[in-house]
Amino acid sequence: MPDPLPTEKQFSLIRLLIALAWADGEINTHELNFLKDFFFKLDLSGEDWAKIEVYLEDPIPPEEAEVLIQDFVKLMGGSKEREAVIASMEKMISADGRNSPEEEAFLKQCTEMFRNSGPASSLIGGLRGLFRNTLMKPAAVSKRAEEIDDFLNNRILFKVRRKLERDKLSLEADPEALAYASLFAGLLGFVAAAQDGVSEVELQVLKKSLKDMAGFDEEGLAIITSVVEDAAAKGLDAFSMARRFYNHSSKAQREQLLDCMFDVAGADDDLSHVEHEATRTISDSLKFSNREFIAAKLRYRERANGG
């Protein structure tokens, strides 16, 4: 078993993959989500994640991409280092227990390139052409593909849209705001359902938190909360929701969510161990430190005591 990649080499690999994605001068939404999901599976701190995001924000010019490729090749010259890269990518892909066909195809392509490219000069040529014919660049993303993406990563939004279509309802909301609110509500629903399902008191606190955050009217709030209540009873994937929420929120918004999770967890005047740990699970996935988690808990205690 090869040694895991040390941090320097891991970041070199990450920067390289981003540079390759920018090879044609743009990263479409599909590619961006793929890369963010890919990297999110690494156990990175919020500070480390910020170092990655800066490369995703703007196109990487060819001369900078060339430097990143050269730096990576210098670090990955031998077969041992290349096997460590493959092992690191396999770990990234399997971290959440779900290997998508895209990820599998991408890993296979990278594995073949690292093992069969020969000397450094050959590896550089393979790296430059890596994204050219990859499945990460579909000609078009169909409505069905968008629905699959929602189903996998924002189950609440998927169900809200289906409910609106099925019941012929209209909800006046910006699509991005609706997607954000669905994730926000879904994560609150996960905490609320952690012990003995979602109580009426918890549902009312959830609804108030959602109203304060999103500003939807009563009809919109009723639609989202009813979907959350139903989905929570069947089980929600907190990891996928937290990963997507992190990618589409600011630090301040994540802190707001953390405060709301404590309010929901303690809505029955009893912050149980199960609810506490459910909140901690999401807090960890949102890359809050233990100190930040404790600070949020103290803020909750002050609110609960009328402070």
pLDDT in tens, 137-188: 443 344 444 444 554 456 677 777 777 766 665 666 667 788 888 888 889 8
Per-residue confidence band for 4, with pLDDT thresholds at 50, 70 and 90: very low
Using CA atoms, how far apart are residues 150 and 136, in angstroms rounded to an integer? 18
Domain ranges of the chain: 7-128, 144-304
Using CA atoms, how far apart are residues 80 and 6, in angstroms rounded to an integer? 13
pLDDT at 131: 53
Using CA atoms, how far apart are residues 145 and 172, in angstroms rounded to an integer? 24
If you average pLDDT over residues 196-223, what whole number do you get? Answer: 83
Per-residue confidence band for 295, with pLDDT thresholds at 50, 70 and 90: very high
If you average pLDDT over residues 270-299, what whole number do you get? Answer: 91
Amino acid identity at 168: K
pLDDT at 259: 94
Residue 116 contacts residue 86 (beta carbons within 8 Å):
no
Q: How far is CA 79 from the centre of its chain?
A: 32
Lowest-pLDDT range, 19-28, 162-171, 215-224, 255-264? 162-171
The residue among 70 and 117 whose pLDDT is bigger is 70
If you average pLDDT over residues 119-134, what whole number do you get? Answer: 61
The mean predicted confidence, pLDDT, of the chain is 75
In the structure encoding, which two tokens stand for residue 75, read together? 């670090």
pLDDT at 75: 73
pLDDT at 141: 42
pTM to 2 decimals? Answer: 0.56
215: phi > 0 → left, psi -120 to 50 → alpha, else beta; which? left
Please tell me which of 117-131, 198-212, 250-264 the model is most confident about, judged by mean pLDDT.
250-264
Using CA atoms, how far apart are residues 263 and 279, in angstroms rounded to an integer? 10
The residue among 169 and 13 whose pLDDT is bigger is 13
Q: φ and ψ at 3, to 5 degrees?
A: -65, 145
If you average pLDDT over residues 225-251, what whole number do you get? Answer: 81
pLDDT at 300: 92
pLDDT in tens, 60-99: 777 887 788 777 777 766 777 778 777 877 776 665 566 6
The residue among 54 and 285 whose pLDDT is bigger is 285
**Cβ contacts of residue 21 below 8 Å, gap of 6+?**
27, 31, 35, 131, 136
